[in-house]
Amino acid sequence: MKTKLTLLFIALTSFFVQAQNTEACTETLSLMSTSVKAKDVTAYDYLTTLRKDCPSFHKSIYTLGEFAVKLKIEKATTPQDKEKYVRDLLKLYDEHDQHFPGNGAGNKMKKGLVLFENKVGTTDEVFQLLDVAFKTDYANFKYAKAMYVYFEILVNNHKANKGVELQQVFDKYDDISKKLDEEEKELSEENDTFLTKEEAGQALTDKEKTRKARIENSLEIFGNVRNDMDNIVLELSTCEKLIPFYQKGFELNKTNEEWLKRAANRLDAKGCDSDPIFSKISEALYKLNPSADAAYQLGVVEIQRKNTTKALDYFNQAANLYTDNTKKANVYYRIAAMYSKSNKVQARTYARKALSVKPSFGKAYLLIAQLYGSSINECGNDQFEKRAMYWLAAQYCDKAGAVDSSIKATANKTAASYRAAAPSKTEIFQSGKAGQRVAFNCWVGESIVVPSL
């Protein structure tokens, strides 16, 4: 009985101590949260207590603690002081992963980025941290800036002859481009649901509007990073360098599907697809695996051979095989662009197919605008109605900019040029058609309301 009472006393004591600790941790966390929101550096003192006494209490210790340490970094008065807190932030990221594994915060990636942003450490240290993050925590490597820095350092090391081969640069470019594709795909598919809802005449909630704006901003940032990466590697990826590079590596890699796919994609992207090496690579890829990518590349080969019918067969095969809506839309767009010179109805059909699988594919709207803008002499009963087609073309440019922020500037500029070519206010007044609908009873089959004065 005495032993049982002793054990009960120990259990109760332990319970009360634990309860007191929980209360203390809760109070300290609350105080840190208030200080962080007020941008008060005393938040760091509360963080220090939490890291010592309550390291596994709650994940917000680390999410809020990150801001607490960053406040100390911002307020640092000497380089030594700044580096001290930067290094402490790296340690905090490790502690977060230690006590809350699988948190999805991308802490490994953040470690490299925080060194770079604060100019602490060497570029080699930054690269090593980003490299480890990319290879071991790929799913959470989501920051566009981290992708850009990671690639830029590698390219600079190649240019400085620091043991980085051209193939390594190309491989890393492809790896990061693939990651950009994945992030953009995830965001654009979410954005497509909002666009589909709006197209159906349904209003977005305030929460959905906010989310849509954030997605469009992120897509624009990813697009800028892609463009910057392309500009960096442009001098390395000229046809004069790529063709002999891939000629040299073909025999060794003709059964390497990944190598063939990447080589074909780069030659195509850089306009080197007229060289025989592109045909050899594409045919080897298709023979190895008649996939959507391989069919697409053979379509490009047939274009170079001026065999349009066969090219269209391969492109349609690729479109049917692709399960990725972005890739499917790109193929439909390429077919539309091919038809734009000979069959405007078919061109529009395929542009609409691209939009049906990917509502945010703004380039397809721009293509339709171009088709309409070049058809003024095919539609309308008089010069006023013919030039009224420019208003319709401008509306499609507006749609392009509305669904795809990456081409908004181009879309706005093109829309403005179409509107400038449309009838002026004086001509609208003289026509007496202000506010009236003009129907285009030609292949276009649409109509436009003349602007009111």
Q: Show the tokens assigned to 227.
A: 């463009």
- pLDDT, tens digit, 9 for 90 and up, residues 205-220: 999 999 999 999 998 8
- pLDDT, tens digit, 9 for 90 and up, residues 227-239: 888 888 777 888 8
- Is residue 8 predicted with pLDDT exceeding 50? no
For residue 1, what pLDDT band results from cuts at 50, 70 and 90? low
- Is residue 18 predicted with pLDDT exceeding 70? no
Distance CA 96, CA 59 (A): 7
Query: What is the reported pLDDT for 215?
Result: 92
- Is residue 381 predicted with pLDDT exceeding 90? no
Shared domain for 159 and 228, answered yes or no, is yes
Query: What is the reported pLDDT for 13?
Result: 42
Asked whether the beta carbons of 309 and 332 are under 8 A apart, the reply is no
Read off the pLDDT of each residue in 38-63 and give the average, rounded to a whole number.
94
- Is residue 163 predicted with pLDDT exceeding 70? yes
Does a structural domain hold residue 194? yes
Backbone angles phi, psi at 155, to 5 degrees: -65, -45
Read off the pLDDT of each residue in 63-87 and give the average, rounded to a whole number.
95
For residue 434, what pLDDT band results from cuts at 50, 70 and 90? very high
Shared domain for 163 and 107, answered yes or no, is no
Query: What is the reported pLDDT for 269?
Result: 82
- Is residue 254 predicted with pLDDT exceeding 80? yes
Least confident interval from 103-107, 266-270, 388-392, 434-438: 266-270
Which domain range does residue 430 map to?
A: 349-453
Does a structural domain hold residue 242? no
Query: What is the reported pLDDT for 17?
Result: 42
Does a structural domain hold residue 153? yes
- Is residue 61 predicted with pLDDT exceeding 90? yes
Q: Over the chain, what HEC string results?
A: CHHHHHHHHHHHHHHHHHHHHHHHHHHHHHHHHHHHHCCCCCHHHHHHHHHHHCCCCCCHHHHHHHHHHHHHHHHCCCHHHHHHHHHHHHHHHHHHHHHCCCCCCCHHHHHHHHHHHCCCCCHHHHHHHHHHHHHHCHHHCCCHHHHHHHHHHHHHHHHCCCCCCHHHHHHHHHHHHHHHHHHHHHHHHHHHHHHHHHHCCCCCCHHHHHHHHHHHHHHHHHHHHHHHHHHHHHCCCCHHHHHHHHHHHHHHHCCCHHHHHHHHHHHHHCCCCCCHHHHHHHHHHHHHCCCHHHHHHHHHHHHHCCCHHHHHHHHHHHHHHCCCHHHHHHHHHHHHHHHCCCCHHHHHHHHHHHHHHCCCCHHHHHHHHHHHHCCCCCCCCCHHHHHHHHHHHHHHHHHHHHHCHHHHHHHHHHHHHHHHHCCCHHHHHHHCCCCCEEECCCCCCCEEECCCC
β pairing state of 437-439 and 447-449: antiparallel
Does a structural domain hold residue 306? no
Of residues 198 and 9, more confidently modeled: 198
Shared domain for 434 and 371, answered yes or no, is yes
Read off the pLDDT of each residue in 433-437 and give the average, rounded to a whole number.
93
Query: What is the reported pLDDT for 335?
Result: 95
Shared domain for 29 and 85, answered yes or no, is yes
- Show which of 90, 121, 152 is a domain's final residue: 121
Shared domain for 165 and 108, answered yes or no, is no
Query: Shortest CA distance to 118 belongs to which of 147, 157, 149?
Result: 149
Does a structural domain hold residue 274? no
- Is residue 250 predicted with pLDDT exceeding 60? yes
Distance CA 171, CA 176 (A): 9
- Show which of 206, 236, 266 is a domain's final residue: 236
- Show which of 63, 87, 121 is a domain's final residue: 121
Cβ-based burial of 352 (10 A; exposed 0-12, middle 13-18, buried ≥19): middle
Distance CA 228, CA 32 (A): 39
Read off the pLDDT of each residue in 164-172 and give the average, rounded to a whole number.
90
Shared domain for 90 and 190, answered yes or no, is no
Mean model confidence pLDDT for the chain: 91
* pTM tops 0.75: no
Shared domain for 78 and 147, answered yes or no, is no
For residue 134, what pLDDT band results from cuts at 50, 70 and 90? very high
- If one counts every other C-beta atom within 10 angstroms of the C-beta of residue 121, the result is 18
Does a structural domain hold residue 325? no
Q: Show the tokens assigned to 112.
A: 């490299």
Distance CA 182, CA 134 (A): 14
Shared domain for 151 and 215, answered yes or no, is yes
Query: What is the reported pLDDT for 10?
Result: 46
Does a structural domain hold residue 37? yes
Q: Residue 55 is which amino acid?
A: P
Shared domain for 99 and 150, answered yes or no, is no
Shared domain for 78 and 163, answered yes or no, is no
Does a structural domain hold residue 268? no
Shared domain for 84 and 162, answered yes or no, is no
Query: What is the reported pLDDT for 438?
Result: 93
Distance CA 51, CA 291 (A): 52
Read off the pLDDT of each residue in 330-359 and give the average, rounded to a whole number.
95
Shared domain for 91 and 162, answered yes or no, is no
Query: What is the reported pLDDT for 271?
Result: 86
Read off the pLDDT of each residue in 125-148 and give the average, rounded to a whole number.
96
Read off the pLDDT of each residue in 105-115 and give the average, rounded to a whole number.
96
Read off the pLDDT of each residue in 364-376 and give the average, rounded to a whole number.
96
Number of structural domains the chain divides into: 3
